[in-house]
Amino acid sequence: MIFLTFDLEEFDLPTEFGNQISFEDQLSLSAIGARKILSLLKEKNVKATFFVTVVFALNNRSIIEDIVADGHEIGSHGWSHSGFEQSDPLRSRLELENITGKKVYGFRMPRLQKVDEQLLLDAGYTYDSSLSPTCIPGRYNNLGKPILPHVKNGLRELPVSVTPFLKFPLFWLAFHLIPSSIFEFLSKWTLRKTGYLNLYFHPWEFLDKSILKKHGLPVYIQYNTGEKMTKRLGSLIKSLSPHALFLCCNDICESISGL
């Protein structure tokens, strides 16, 4: 089983590097990337899960409507991308359900930070996809955590994917920096060994390199973005499609025995 997931949020990444970006630009640039993602998914006829902040959803209702109309799943990415309060899981779920008219089952913490399982259970979630079972210096060290879906303290956890054994992260930055052929090989190897692949990306990755440069992002983050990103992800989808189904996160929860 494979699922593509996208963190649909305010484009606040420049602030992590000490650069200013207006709130309007954060929303409009993410919206441009989101439209490109939806177009690609429709072209490839695959479904995905979008973890959406309420701030983005309230300001881009037409995109949310199109996500739902195209049969994709919407999960919560919190109220906003730049802060977190204990009330965010519950109020974000309720607001997203109000906006979409659909049940929201899943949660993903901004920047894949740790979130309390009981807090999510109390807020009515079925699953969490905030765990990256690897080590990212300065972010987290989860090398001892399981790489496959599991239940922890009563909550289903769907980790983002890493390779078996070495736990090399198959995350968005690796997708940009290593050759497509190698990323595709690692993805197929992981899928063959585990039967599970959970990949995640962001809408700003589909923006033109010149936009990212303008907002002060480092060269390594600008690499293979824009149209190159669209082509690379399209190629990856084509390469993986014969090997497993692309499903939404909640579909996988329902289909995995014991979850």
CATH of the domain at 148: 3.20.20.370
Task: Name residue 136's amino acid.
Answer: I
Instruction: Please give the structure tokens belonging to residue 149.
Output: 């879906």
Q: For tokens 């480092």, what's the residue?
A: 218
Q: Give the per-residue pLDDT at 139.
A: 87
Q: Give the per-residue pLDDT at 147.
A: 96
As to burial, measured by CB atoms within 10 angstroms (0-12 exposed, 13-18 middle, 19+ buried), residue 63 is buried
Q: Give the per-residue pLDDT at 83.
A: 87
Q: Give the per-residue pLDDT at 255.
A: 56
Beta strands 155-157 and 150-152, pairing class: antiparallel
Instruction: Please give the structure tokens belonging to residue 101.
Output: 């008219």
The backbone region for 226, taken as left when phi is positive above 0, alpha when psi lies in -120 to 50, beta otherwise, is left
pLDDT mean across residues, the chain: 95
Instruction: Please give the structure tokens belonging to residue 119.
Output: 């807090």
Q: Give the per-residue pLDDT at 16.
A: 93
Helix (H/G/I), strand (E/B), else coil: 87: coil
Asked if 47 and 71 count as a contact pair (C-beta separation under 8 A), the reply is: yes
pLDDT in tens, the chain (259 residues): 999 999 999 999 999 999 999 999 999 999 999 999 999 999 999 999 999 999 999 999 999 999 999 999 999 999 999 989 999 999 999 999 999 999 999 999 999 999 999 999 999 999 999 999 999 888 889 999 999 999 999 899 999 999 998 999 999 999 999 999 999 999 999 999 999 999 999 999 999 999 999 999 999 999 999 999 999 999 999 999 999 999 999 987 665 545 5
Supply φ then ψ for residue 123, to 5 degrees: -85, 0
Tally of CA atoms within 13 A in the half-sphere of 77 that contains its CB? 25
Structural domains counted in the chain: 1
Q: What global pTM score does this model have?
A: 0.95
As to burial, measured by CB atoms within 10 angstroms (0-12 exposed, 13-18 middle, 19+ buried), residue 258 is exposed
Domain holding 189, by residue range, is: 2-255
Question: Using CA atoms, how far apart are residues 38 and 128, in angstroms rounded to an integer?
Answer: 23
Q: Give the per-residue pLDDT at 252.
A: 74
